[in-house]
Structure 1
Amino acid sequence: MTAPNAFTVDIDRQLQLPIYLQICERFRTAIAAGHLRPGERVPALRSLATQLNTARGTVELAYTILVDEGYLQMRGAAGTFVSPSLPASIMHSLRARGANEQNSRQSTGNPAVPQTPGDARGVRPAPHQPAIAAAMSGEPRPLQPGLPALDAFPLKVWNRLVAHRARGGERALLAYPDPAGYRPLREHIATYLGLSRGVTCVPDQVFVTGGYRATLELLLRSLGRPNDSVWYEDPGYLLARGFLAETGVHLVAVPVDDEGIDVERGKQLAAQARFALVTPSHQSPLGHTLSLARRMALLDWAEQASSWIVEDDYDSEFRYLGRPLPALKSLDRHDHVIYCGTFSKVMFPGLRLAYTVVPERAVERVGRVARSMNAGSPTLLQAALADFVEQGHFARHLKRMRALYAERRVLIVRALEQAFGERLIVELPPGGIQFAARFAEGPDGPIDDVAVAARAREAGLAVLPLSIWYANAGTRRTPRGLVMGFANIASADDASRLARKLRACLDG
């Protein structure tokens, strides 16, 4: 076994670049320069965290990024090593970047920093993507964003319906699933959307998928073109941004304010973009609602540019002030809006069922691609879900959850206010099952929310740093805070305990 060499990592706490990104950059540079050789062991997580006087979670996040990028390999108890077979393309890229950064430092006297938000050159892949995906999967943890109340789901009813379908022995449930989805479920979805969201559609327009990522892949393959530009909310949904960046589309970060996505800014950056991905009812992660003026402006832009609007309506069922808002699709008179929904928030994420409603003129194309992808979801679960809806359990469950979440959001907000005082700015969310809280700037400048979230993860909590939802996460003006869920807060005592635990992570 190769012993770790005397390689040391230096970080500069005066830089605006987060510590975990500085660690990543030091390792990349050392590998490119030959100071760390293929197959060589690197310092252990705890050892490096002690050396840098930083949280173990911060180092873990950096190592996870480097592993995903192919620079490092984790070998369990044996330790972490430089990848023994670094691709030549990686080494070439590293050396080129090192030369560019050296030239930049010589000409400006400052370290290279990420591009500014809204840059029409596009959004780069988020380096934190693997760590975030890991935080959002596996065993549920307190304050996890986007996680519905698992303790309140009618599991006995669901198990009975699944067992009934399984015992029935229907041969269609054992065969390859219909790539467009189980027909009765598509019919129920079309009816539900017409009644609750104002979306007029027929079952043939509804396609059932294995989640929002699968939905995006289906839409891009069906309706996309090479080198498409895609408007993306800034800040915006992390996992979708990571997936889109992997597909090679040109992501254009369009700023979000209190009225939602800034359509005029989007037109300035990329007027002929092929797609615009938006969360109009409950902006992810800020929670704003897209104003009527912006909705009409967005629809006008799509018509003039012959573009598609992808409406991600991920948790609009949960609205605590009045009735759920009408979908953007309900205002669409020229068939440019593609509506996307999911059962992950209203049922449970392990179900892995979502759906999209495509304009009639796109049904044939999307259907053809769905068949070629063989993208069907398990028929057994779709059939059980259709029964769940048909027998009225779905409507009753939604009604109960709206009341329950309205109570639980108040519990956690009060507990956070009591635990953090003026150090955390918390606004009661009007809808959804998660919200973003902002840190007040401390005496030493902006709070390092990535480090706070890393410490929280070590403490067993699943909050996410707010800054990384922005295209340019490393600047001083990027808002810092935490994104957290509240649907699984069981009681006032539970809320107080979790808030105190989170507060302890603020100062390390």
Structure 2
Amino acid sequence: MPRGKASIPLDLPRPPGLSDDTRSKQECIAEAIRDAILNRLLAGDTALPSTRTLAERWRVARGTVEGAFDRLCSEGYIVRTRGSGTRVSAVVPDTYLASSEQAQRAPVHERKDTVVASRERPYPAAENAAQAGVPFIARLADPDLLRMRSWRKHAGIGLTRATPADLSSTLPQGDGQLREQIAEYLRKFRGIPCGADDVFITTGIRNSIDLIARAVLRPGNAVLIEDPGYSSAQRIFELAGAATIDIPVDREGIETAALPRRSDVAAAYVTPAHQSPLGVTMSVSRRLELLEWASQSHAWIIEDDYDGEFSYQAAPLPALKSLDVHDRVVYCGSFNKTLFSGLRVGFMVLPAELRVPVATIWRVTGRSVAVAEQLALASFISSGDFAKHLRASRHAYLQRRNSVLQQLARYGNDRYAISGEHAGFHFMLWLANGVDDRAFVARAAQAGVALQPLSAFTRKAVLSSGVVVGYTALTIAQALHAGKTLGHLLAHTGDCDDA
């Protein structure tokens, strides 16, 4: 074999589905290689052949294979190094492979349920100014992007189709039509193998977290949370009587090496798609290590996918739940983040073991999600209008993000750094060395710009100074104006500090 050329591992057969018009060739290739890695057919550090070689062998365009490689690279399965080719980077634990063989689960309708017997408040401006049009606290879905004529149409369709039983006796876990639509969407777009029986409708992610906390936590339990992280989740766990244990976060997500193996730890709360607030995406190796920890510790993982649908470099990454062969992950999502914050409809995908206890709690606490909104959402999703709305929103949010970044590049005099801008509703703006983030936030407020300092999200972690920049619920004009103001503040920060 010529030097420097990688053979095709295991002769990598042509991926199935390349002739299927319902799926893109790029998606089929990425899925085939991803499955080969997870099934250990491609071990860690295995060299992959060039995209040209695979394209010729599989009779597809080289750009198609390039796109699949780029996606796998962004997901953390492979790494591409100039001059060294492409290699497998994900490390798959032995226990994951063993669990995969056991996880050829029965259809959802055949499963049997079993019953299982705050330190620092957020920066004050956050709760008062978290509304559309306020730069840069507005980490919200823009309600102006929703076509109200379309929403009113689906609200009417939902009520027209509703029976008296639908309006008076909705199941505790929510309307069956909506749960089926959500399950189909999650299977297709988030890689989660679930059915309607796995889905529970809630008023939002915080409501989901609260229900899970009530269902799984007992006196003396502890919950692992990211540091820095979402302070509202911490307070919910503490209100449920649990202690919280801070786990550091680095550029690959929560540091799994720091996960304690203690009998009192009942759960871990994570934001793997776009960590709140750092914006990093949890690597595949870390995801598998976290799942292995949960299985061995018999602990639950609460996956908060608050803005996972909004990826600006590739298709949204598969959810952590999609790798959950141990059935230890509770997946939490929300239409309040994809449509508008006042909708108050969220959902979670529950492991089979938790369905009965959560349903029992939900019956007692009131089943507060309105039926009309659920019926409207079911019609909205089934028609394809929800998918269209997400595509339009991604494009709009990308333009707004780019507008802010362009203004910072033009006026910021390179006195900052950016991270986490590849997805979601916000990015991290890192300040120059020696700049106090709270003092910077105070100066920004005087200039009419609302920001949150990173220090408001940390508990024990010691990080560089930074601020969280939300941009999704701004108009382009607001993004440009506020971005220019913020750029000027960054350019003159050193001058102010030296004065």
* TM-score, normalised with respect to structure 2: 0.70
Q: What residue identity is the alignment partner of 1:496?
A: L
What residue in structure 2 maps to residue 485 of structure 1? 470
- Cα separation, 2, equivalents of 1:169 and 1:182: 11
* Distance apart, 1:424 and its partner CA: 2.1
Provide the secondary structure at the position in 2 that maps to 1:436. strand
* Distance apart, 1:406 and its partner CA: 2.5
Q: Does residue 471 in structure 1 map to residue 468 in structure 2?
A: no
Contact (CA 8 Å) 1:286, 1:435: kept in 2 or not? yes
Q: 1:216 aligns with which of 209, 212, 237?
A: 209
Q: 1:362 aligns with which of 335, 350, 354?
A: 354
- Cα separation, 2, equivalents of 1:459 and 1:169: 51
- Cα separation, 1, equivalents of 2:162 and 2:183: 27
Q: Does residue 496 in structure 1 map to residue 484 in structure 2?
A: no
Provide the secondary structure at the position in 1 that maps to 2:313. coil
Contact (CA 8 Å) 1:233, 1:255: kept in 2 or not? yes
Q: What residue identity is the alignment partner of 1:453?
A: V
Q: String of CA shifts for 1:25-60, please: whole Å, max 9, x gaps.
A: xxxxxxxxxxxxxxxxxxxxxxxxxxxxxxxxxxxx
* Distance apart, 1:149 and its partner CA: 2.7
- Cα separation, 2, equivalents of 1:168 and 1:412: 44
- Cα separation, 2, equivalents of 1:302 and 1:222: 17
Distance 1:168 1:324, change over 3 A: closer
Q: String of CA shifts for 1:347-390, please: whole Å, max 9, x gaps.
A: 11111111111111221111111111113301111111111101
Q: How does 1:162-181 map to 2 (within 5 A)?
A: 162-165=155-158, 171-172=164-165, 175=168, 178-181=171-174
Contact (CA 8 Å) 2:215, 2:358: kept in 1 or not? yes
Q: What residue identity is the alignment partner of 1:161?
A: H
What residue in structure 2 maps to residue 326 of structure 1? 318
Q: What residue identity is the alignment partner of 1:384?
A: A
Contact (CA 8 Å) 1:143, 1:488: kept in 2 or not? no
Distance 1:174 1:140, change over 3 A: farther
In percent, how many aligned pairs have the same letter? 37
Q: Does residue 233 in structure 1 map to residue 229 in structure 2?
A: no
- Cα separation, 1, equivalents of 2:336 and 2:270: 18
Q: String of CA shifts for 1:59-117, please: whole Å, max 9, x gaps.
A: xxxxxxxxxxxxxxxxxxxxxxxxxxxxxxxxxxxxxxxxxxxxxxxxxxxxxxxxxxx
State the aligned residue count. Answer: 375
Contact (CA 8 Å) 1:178, 1:376: kept in 2 or not? no
* Distance apart, 1:301 and its partner CA: 0.6
What residue in structure 1 maps to residue 5 of structure 2? none
Distance 1:409 1:377, change over 3 A: same
Q: Does residue 448 in structure 1 map to residue 448 in structure 2?
A: no
What residue in structure 2 maps to residue 135 of structure 1? 129
Q: Does residue 342 in structure 1 map to residue 326 in structure 2?
A: no
Contact (CA 8 Å) 2:426, 2:468: kept in 1 or not? yes
- Give 5+ residue unaligned stretches, structure 2: 1-117
Distance 1:149 1:410, change over 3 A: same
Q: How does 1:10-409 map to 2 (within 5 A)?
A: 124-128=118-122, 132-136=126-130, 140-165=133-158, 171-172=164-165, 175=168, 178-267=171-260, 272-409=264-401
- Cα separation, 2, equivalents of 1:241 and 1:470: 12
Contact (CA 8 Å) 2:321, 2:329: kept in 1 or not? yes
Provide the secondary structure at the position in 2 that maps to 1:426. strand
Q: String of CA shifts for 1:285-339, please: whole Å, max 9, x gaps.
A: 1111111111111111111110001111111111122221111111111111111
- Cα separation, 1, equivalents of 2:248 and 2:473: 31
Provide the secondary structure at the position in 2 that maps to 1:190. helix
Provide the secondary structure at the position in 2 that maps to 1:227. coil
- Cα separation, 1, equivalents of 2:447 and 2:344: 28
* Distance apart, 1:455 and its partner CA: 4.6
- Cα separation, 2, equivalents of 1:178 and 1:140: 37
Contact (CA 8 Å) 1:184, 1:386: kept in 2 or not? yes
4+ residue stretches of structure 1 with deviation over 6 A? none
* Distance apart, 1:470 and its partner CA: 0.8
- Cα separation, 2, equivalents of 1:399 and 1:148: 13
- Cα separation, 1, equivalents of 2:447 and 2:159: 40
Q: String of CA shifts for 1:414-465, please: whole Å, max 9, x gaps.
A: 2122232232212461111211111112xxx3x3322433454465544211
- Give 5+ residue unaligned stretches, structure 1: 1-123
Provide the secondary structure at the position in 1 that maps to 2:464. coil
- Cα separation, 2, equivalents of 1:191 and 1:345: 19
- Cα separation, 2, equivalents of 1:458 and 1:164: 48
Q: String of CA shifts for 1:202-228, please: whole Å, max 9, x gaps.
A: 211111111111111111111221121
* Distance apart, 1:259 and its partner CA: 0.8
- Cα separation, 2, equivalents of 1:318 and 1:340: 15
* TM-score, normalised with respect to structure 1: 0.69
- Cα separation, 1, equivalents of 2:409 and 2:264: 45
What residue in structure 2 maps to residue 20 of structure 1? none
Q: What residue identity is the alignment partner of 1:283?
A: Q
- Cα separation, 2, equivalents of 1:164 and 1:335: 36
